[in-house]
Amino acid sequence: MRQSNLDTIFLKLIEEVGELSESIRNGKSGQPTLDELKGSIAEELYDVLYYVCALANIHGVNLEKTHELKEVLNKVKYNR
């Protein structure tokens, strides 16, 4: 993948994080109906997750495996 495409995906992630912040400030929480989806926290969380997953795929990161590894580290770090 070309660097410009990577940059675009990363910038889209940042844009979606900003939109999530705005939704949180506006208090649009809870599970929306289809008619309520636009601009909701749920929609923006999905969009952020979409771009995080896209970046993980591009960089060859298995998020499920990384989650398992981080849980082990966090148990040690936080004595859980």
Which tens digits make up the pLDDT trace of 5-41?
989 999 999 999 999 999 999 987 899 999 999 999 9
**Domain around 39:** 3-77
CATH code of residue 49: 1.10.287.1080
CB 23 within 8 A of CB 44: yes
pLDDT in tens, 34-71: 999 999 999 999 999 999 999 999 999 999 999 999 99
Closest CA to 7 of 55, 47, 53, 45: 55
Helix 3-26 / helix 41-58 crossing angle, nearest 10 deg = 160
For residues 7, 44, 21 and 51, what is the CA-based torsion angle, rounded to 10 degrees? -20
- pLDDT at position 2 is 84
Q: pTM value?
A: 0.86
- How many separate domains does the chain show? 1
